Homo-oligomer: A and B are copies of this chain.
Amino acid sequence: MDSIANFLSVKDVEDVGDWISLAQKFKVNPYAHQHLGANKTLGIIFFNPSLRTRLSTQKAASNLGMNVMVMNFNGEGWQLEMEDGAVMNGSSQEHISEAASVISQYCDIIAVRTFATLTDREEDYAEKFLSSFVKYARVPVVSLESATLHPLQSLADMLTLKEQNTKSNPKVVLSWAPHPKALPQAVANSFAQWTLAAGYDLTIAHPPGYELHPDFTRGARMTHNQEEALQGADFVYVKNWSAYENYGQVSREYDHWTLDGAKMQLTHNAKFMHCLPIRRNVIATDEVIDAPTSLILEQANNRTFAAQAVLYKLLSHER
C-alpha cells in the first residue's frame, strides 16, 4: 500500500483544475455519490472554535453518506503533549501519539483544525502540531486550517474564482487589511499558494513589515502600494494577517488600509472576496461587503463542495 494520502496543502493535489471541477460537480449534484461513505466515519477534531468549517465539513460528509463524529478538544478533551521523551508529570494528560493513533481506530478519515501560536514562529512554520498528528495517525488526515495554511478555504476560493471569472487572464489581488487582533498568515499563505498553482496572475499588497513567507508567494507581484495593486483588478481578496518577521505583531499604523468604495473604484469592477468572519468597517466597509460584486457568501457556500471533493478523493483513493 502507498503511504497514506492526506490533504494538508496544495502539494497533496496533483491537478488543481481537476479538484476544482470535482467540487463544481458536487455543487450541481451533492448526492451523486451518496453511498460512497456508507459505513465510513469522519472524525472532526477542533482545537479552537469554528463555524463555517465545522458546518460545511459536516454537511459535506453527510452528502457522501458518511457518519460524522465531532469533538471539541477545548471543552471535551484534554491537553496533548507533543514532545517526544517528555516526562508527563505536568498539565499534559495525553501524548499526541496515543491520541492520533486511537482516534484513527474509530475513524476512516480525521479532519483536524489546529492553530498558530503566533508566538513561536519556528514551531508554527514547522506545523509542529499537525505534523505530529499526521505522523501518528493511521488514516488520512484533512487539515481544517493549520498554523500556516487553510487549504479547504483555498479550494473553495478557487471554485469561486472559476465560477465568477470571465477572462482569459484576470488580475487577482490579495490585499492586507487592518484588524484589532493578531491573526495567523494561514489564509493569505494558502490563497497565494493555490492561486499561483492554478496559474492566476496574482498581486499581493501589504504594508511594510507584513511580508509573507516567500515559499508561499513566489511568482506573485509584491507591492506596498495598495492603490496601485487595485488598479485594473478583477478580483480583490482582502485579509488581515499579523507580521511574519516581527512574528505575530500588529500595529494600528495601517488602519487606512480598510477597503472602501473609493478604492474599489480603482479596480476593473472587481469582485470582492473574503473568507469570513469579517470585521465590518475594519477589513472593508459595508458598502463593499454588501455590494452585488461581493462574493463572500458564495465562498462560504463553496466550502461544502470543496470539502466534499476532498473527502471523495480520500474515500475513493483517487489522486
**A: which residues have CB within 8 A of B?**
30-31, 39, 41, 43, 46, 49-52, 54-56, 58-59, 62, 67, 69, 71-72, 74-78, 81, 84-90, 93-95, 98-99, 101-103, 105-107, 180, 276-282, 286, 296-297, 300-301, 304
Contacts and interface: CB of A to CB of B under 8 A. Distances in A.
Given A59-B41, A98-B276, A78 B106 contact: no
A75 B77 contact: no
Nearest to A297: B101
Contact of A279 (B54, B89, B304): B89
A94 B279 CA distance: 6
A85 B297 CA distance: 19
A94 B179 CA distance: 12
A277 B71 contact: no
A102 B281 contact: no
B87 A281 contact: yes
B58 A69 contact: yes
26 contacts: A30-B39, A49-B77, A50-B76, A51-B71, A51-B77, A51-B78, A51-B94, A51-B99, A51-B102, A54-B76, A55-B69, A62-B67, A74-B75, A75-B75, A84-B286, A87-B282, A95-B280, A98-B276, A98-B278, A98-B300, A101-B297, A102-B300, A102-B301, A105-B300, A105-B301, A106-B304
B98 A78 contact: no
Given A72-B75, A102-B276, 16 more contacts: A31-B39, A43-B55, A51-B77, A51-B94, A55-B103, A55-B107, A72-B76, A74-B75, A78-B277, A85-B286, A94-B278, A98-B277, A98-B297, A98-B300, A102-B301, A105-B300
